[in-house]
Amino acid sequence: MGDPKGFIKIRRKEAGYRPIYERIRDFSEVEQTLNTEDRKLQASRCMDCGVPFCHWACPVHSKIPDWQDALYRGDWQEASDLLHATNDFPEFTGRVCPAPCEISCTLAINDESVTIRENEAAIVERAFADGLIKPRPPLVRKNKKVAVIGSGPAGLSVAARLNRMGYSVEVFEKDDAIGGLLRYGIPDFKLSKNVIDRRLNILEEEGISFRPGVEAGKDLSAGDLLHSFDAICVAIGAGKPRDLNIPGRDLNGIHFAMDFLSFQNKLVQGNFQNGSPDIKAKNKDVVVIGGGDTGSDCVGTANRQGARSVTQLEILSKPEENKGYNPNWPWPQKNMKTSSSHEEGCKRMWSVASKQFIGSDNQVEEIEIVDVKWEKDENGRMQMKELPSSKRTIKADLVLLAMGFVHPVHEGLLDNLKVEYDQRGNVKGKSGHQTSVDKVFVAGDALTGANLVVTATYSGIQAARNIDRYLDI
């Protein structure tokens, strides 16, 4: 522990964002960086608690106090090694993770948690800049092949771990480029795609074979996969979006959020293909239905495209403002969350339900909404009630549905493999991430339902361990 009194002497200092007037003109990353000395001082605030609740809350069980100390001492190699011991992609989580570790930091009791996420990102960026992150191909190859279906955080984690164990790994991705959710689901202003490509170059040099543009279950049949590989890991994510089946849903101008976000990401990368939906917000009144992170990403993208106005609707009640302390520590509390995208311009509405889409000439023009109230019924369950005389309409030339995902897409690969599903429609996983089909495993959101990038990463790590056990018998 570098400075036992660091948390007393040094206040929390965040890097912050680029100025709004500047960042809304481009899709470059919005987050700034601290200088090295400030970053070391922030690392010195780690208290090296007797019980590291940050480690307990982190889905990948990152050794946070240890690499904070290494950062404080300026030992970038040790800090990077400790990060990578539990997380193959700290450059991803250091950018897009909501940081449950910081919520459970002891200093979070008084809203002064250590800047764990930013420190993580700083370490891995310094490690790349100094050439400390190098390919580590296995010394010996085993005579067994594994197919990984899907190249999001879960699929890449499975592939990286199994490859280092010596297995020959092929990663199949239906899109035209590797990265899954990381590439086409997260805007460039949060995660620049050269960060993904930099890591993919390392993985390729380590021996992983990537096959983009190949849709397993269609271009490559389930039978061929079962015949050609010793094990298969399905990591296709939870790709079935939650729809809003109300009158007027068939009008033009109503799209799923991921179609909108992936369209823009392709434009930024210059690999937009004919046939993809042309969804643009320029000079339009945009309404985003859904108050989560995906909805926030739509807000930021719409503003950068030049929307006339952006409104975000949330059916749940408005969270409380941050009180400056967490009475539920180390558990999180539902505080008001304002993202960088919200700061750039957005009208936010809570406790609002959409009743119907209204338009003419087959084009959406308005949404009829109603205020709702949440109350407990006699069984203690929250029930929604519409408030009388609260119906009204708001302008909407473009509607983006960002209400989450229900389960992985069943049609195609999963149905052809004949895997079992759980009650929520996710792939049913037995102990060891195994499915109901021999030598077929599952990882990430396809198993758990839509979740965090860091949670999917850990699921991939666990799946790799279990596949190794299965193949090593």
Cα–Cα distance list, 274 to 75, 267, 271, 281 (Å): 49, 11, 10, 19
Please check whether residue 296 is in contact with residue 220, taking contact to mean a CB–CB distance below 8 angstroms: no
Range(s) of the chain covered by CATH 1.10.1060.10:
6-129
Which band of pLDDT confidence, cut at 50, 70 and 90, is reported for residue 258? very high
Alpha carbons 229 and 146: distance in angstroms, whole number: 6
Please check whether residue 355 is in contact with residue 370, taking contact to mean a CB–CB distance below 8 angstroms: yes
Query: How many residues are present in the chain?
Result: 473
Residue 463, Ramachandran bin (φ over 0: left; ψ between -120 and 50: alpha; else beta): alpha
pLDDT tens figures, 208-221: 999 999 999 999 99
Residue 273 has what pLDDT?
61
Question: What is the chain's Cα-based Rg?
Answer: 23
pLDDT at 2 over 70: no
Q: Could you give the angle at the alpha carbon of 195 between the alpha carbons of 274 and 146, nearest 5°?
A: 80
Strands 347-349, 309-313: parallel, antiparallel or unpaired by DSSP? parallel
Alpha carbons 89 and 75: distance in angstroms, whole number: 19
Work out the percent of the chain whose per-residue pLDDT is above 70: 98
Which band of pLDDT confidence, cut at 50, 70 and 90, is reported for residue 80? very high
Residue 16 has what pLDDT?
95
Q: What kind of fold does domain 243-403 have according to CATH? A: FAD/NAD(P)-binding domain (3.50.50)
pLDDT tens figures, 165-197: 999 999 999 999 999 999 999 999 999 999 999
Which band of pLDDT confidence, cut at 50, 70 and 90, is reported for residue 142? very high
Residue 39 has what pLDDT?
96
Cα–Cα distance list, 387 to 93, 154, 391 (Å): 41, 43, 8
Please check whether residue 213 is in contact with residue 176, taking contact to mean a CB–CB distance below 8 angstroms: yes
Alpha helices (H) in 11-50, listed in sequence order: 20-23, 36-43
Residue 379 has what pLDDT?
85
Alpha carbons 326 and 53: distance in angstroms, whole number: 14
Range(s) of the chain covered by CATH 3.50.50.60:
145-239+406-471, 243-403
Q: Note the CATH number of domain 145-239+406-471.
A: 3.50.50.60
Q: How many CB atoms lie within 10 A of CB 379?
A: 6
**Predicted TM-score of the model (pTM):** 0.94
Residue 276 has what pLDDT?
62
Residue 267 has what pLDDT?
92
Angle between helices 153-164 and 193-205 (to 10 degrees): 20
Alpha carbons 365 and 349: distance in angstroms, whole number: 19
* Mean pLDDT, residues 425-429 taken together: 96
Surface-to-core class of residue 389, CB atoms within 10 Å of its CB (0-12 exposed, 13-18 middle, 19+ buried): exposed
* Mean pLDDT, residues 231-256 taken together: 97
* Mean pLDDT, residues 444-465 taken together: 96
* Mean pLDDT, residues 275-291 taken together: 89
Which band of pLDDT confidence, cut at 50, 70 and 90, is reported for residue 1? low
pLDDT tens figures, 36-74: 999 999 999 998 788 999 999 999 999 999 999 999 999
pLDDT tens figures, 301-328: 999 999 999 999 999 999 988 877 788 8
Lowest mean pLDDT among 9-23, 329-343, 439-453: 329-343
Of 89, 431, 419, 447, which Cα lies nearest the Cα of 237?
A: 447
Angle between helices 116-129 and 64-73 (to 10 degrees): 60
At which residue do the structure tokens 């937009």 appear?
Answer: 272
pLDDT at 157 over 90: yes
440, two tokens: 């077929």
pLDDT, averaged across the chain: 94
Question: In this structure, is the dihedral angle defined by the CA atoms of residues 25, 30, 321 and 390, taken in order, positive or negative?
Answer: positive
Residue 116 has what pLDDT?
97
Alpha carbons 372 and 336: distance in angstroms, whole number: 19
Q: Compute the half-sphere exposure of residue 270: CA atoms within 13 Å on the CB side of its CA.
A: 0
DSSP 216: B
Which band of pLDDT confidence, cut at 50, 70 and 90, is reported for residue 5? confident
Q: What kind of fold does domain 6-129 have according to CATH? A: Fumarate Reductase Iron-sulfur Protein; Chain B, domain 2 (1.10.1060)
Residue 432 has what pLDDT?
85
pLDDT tens figures, 271-281: 766 556 689 99
